Amino acid sequence: MEIANPFSPIEPLNIGIAKKAGIEILLKREDLSHPFISGNKWRKLKYYLIDARLQQKSILATFGGAYSNHLLATACAAAKYGFKSIGFVRGNEVSNHMLQLCKLFGMDLFFLSRTDYANHKMEIATKQLMQVFNEVYFINEGGSGLLGEKGVAEIINEVKSQADVLFCAIGTGSTFAGLLQGVNNHGLPMQLHGIPVLKGMEEAFQKQFNSYGLNYCLHHQYHFGGYAKTNDALKAFVQEMAENTGILFDYVYEAKMMYGLLDLIKQGYFKQGTRIMALHNGGTLGMLSML
Ligand SMILES: *Cc1c(COP(=O)(O)O)cnc(C)c1O
């Protein structure tokens, strides 16, 4: 089967706060492109899958945490396109619904201690896969890297002149880097805004993104204490959004993005008439364990 192009609809998000401020919010529903190969992970995988095919590899090997949207996306994509898949998971052996789904899609899982994962994951994976090494195509954690960013940049083809501002959540930053490239490729005046979901990333992201120019802005005040941290306000926000829009925003990424966007609008950050496109990058399955 030919590697498909991710498709995601764009829909208006009707929220009182935005209407009052005269701001239009559009939601790019990357979360709807596939139930398991979700959101930006599908975008980032696309060119790695094409490259693995070109190189005639039969096994995809990759890395991620125990709730990794990327591991699940890789497992499902591998099954769909005729690859075997192997996931190297950070931390002691556990079981949860995300890893069970990975296994359902045929992924073999290996667990690495946190220190091994941080320092030697590639060496350990290489050793583990020695027998089949020539068959293996390695994909970075989260699908980061140049081919991942190339896939993400294609989102811009589908957005182009429909918005003045593009908004998204930032984890590792590879999605944001891909979007910056897409905007530069098209020479668009669109400004990119990001909400880092990790604490203390000011310098790291400045280094990572400044090479793409300065037409971007990060809002570091919406991490809610750090990666995967939540509080009652964020939980109430997820509840309210679900009830009022029929859309789930996961606690780790998308709820923080949306909360930040609406809070900035409330504060009058964007001028009247601004058209904002927010990317919903999926990740909804990951929140099941927190319900
Ligand atoms: C992985 C992920 C992100 C973060 O993407 P990065 O490229 O790591 O910045 C955001 N939202 C969701 C739902 C994700 O799964």
Give the 3-state DSSP-derived string for the chain, with helices as H, strands as E and coil as C: CCCCCCCCCEEECCCHHHHHHCCEEEEEEHHHCCCCCCHHHHHHHHHHHHHHHHCCCCEEEEEECCCCHHHHHHHHHHHHCCCEEEEEEECCCCCCHHHHHHHHCCCEEEEECHHHHHHHHHHHHHHHCHHHHHHEEECCHHHCCHHHHHHHHCHHHHHHHHCCEEEEEECCCHHHHHHHHHHHHHCCCCEEEEEECCCCCHHHHHHHHHHHCCCEEECCCCCCCCCCCCCHHHHHHHHHHHHHHCCCCCCCCHHHHHHHHHHHHHCCCCCCCCEEEEEECCCCHHHHHHC
Q: What is the pLDDT, as a whole number, of residue 38? A: 85
Atom of ligand 1 nearest to the CA of 152: 7
Q: What is the pLDDT, as a whole number, of residue 290? A: 80
Distance from Cα 38 to the centre of ligand 1, integer Å: 10
Q: What is the pLDDT, as a whole number, of residue 7? A: 94
Ligand 1 pocket: which of 175, 201, 223, 279 to mutate (most atoms within 8 A of CB)? 175
Closest residue by CA, ligand 1 atom 4: 171
Q: What is the pLDDT, as a whole number, of residue 184? A: 94
Distance from Cα 277 to the centre of ligand 1, integer Å: 17
Distance from Cα 68 to the centre of ligand 1, integer Å: 10
Distance from Cα 190 to the centre of ligand 1, integer Å: 21
Q: What is the pLDDT, as a whole number, of residue 205? A: 96
Ligand 1 pocket: which of 28, 253, 254 to mutate (most atoms within 8 A of CB)? 253
pLDDT tens for the chain, 291 residues long, are 899 999 999 999 999 999 999 999 999 999 999 999 989 999 999 999 999 999 999 999 999 999 999 999 999 999 999 999 999 999 999 999 999 999 999 999 999 999 999 999 999 999 999 999 999 999 999 999 999 999 999 999 999 889 999 999 999 999 999 999 999 999 999 999 999 999 999 999 999 999 998 899 999 999 999 999 999 999 999 999 999 999 999 999 999 999 999 999 999 999 999 999 999 999 999 988 887
Atom of ligand 1 nearest to the CA of 177: 7
Q: What is the pLDDT, as a whole number, of residue 139? A: 98
Q: What is the pLDDT, as a whole number, of residue 160? A: 87
Distance from Cα 130 to the centre of ligand 1, integer Å: 31
User: Which residues are near ligand 1 (CB < 6 Å)?
Assistant: 39-41, 69, 142, 169-176, 250, 253-254, 281-283
Q: What is the pLDDT, as a whole number, of residue 207? A: 94
Distance from Cα 263 to the centre of ligand 1, integer Å: 21
